[in-house]
Amino acid sequence: MKILATAAILAVLFTTPPAMANPITPIADAQRGTMVTVQGTVERITDEDEFRLADASGSIRIYVGPNWVPADVGETVIVNGFVDDDLIGPREIYARSLTRADGSVVAFERRYD
């Protein structure tokens, strides 16, 4: 019984949800060519696989393709992904996961490197 309790405590202490594994970066500070975790409100859905996320520092395009956007306008979400390293055009994050306000995590299996 003691071993089970110890194992349970260790599992809780050393298991971190994906969105909490990385510190939140303000959208304005998301640098091209880096992995980031950003948090904000879905400002608008621009396509079936793309939306704009906004926080107090600005907004950025989030690409979840080839998946459908799993959030609604006005919803607060956390996105973990890669900031496109293109020097031309607006910044865009290729999402690897999205955490909804209720804590549910949507992982995007397709990787864009």
The structure's pTM equals 0.78
Identify the CA nearest to 46 among candidates 58, 63, 31.
63
pLDDT averaged over consecutive 10-residue blocks of the chain (113 residues)? Answer: 45 44 91 96 96 98 93 97 89 96 90 52
The two structure tokens encoding residue 71: 């959030």
* CA pair distance 90, 46, nearest whole angstrom: 14
Number of residues that make up the chain: 113
Do 25 and 40 touch, CB atoms closer than 8 A?
Answer: no
* CA pair distance 40, 5, nearest whole angstrom: 37
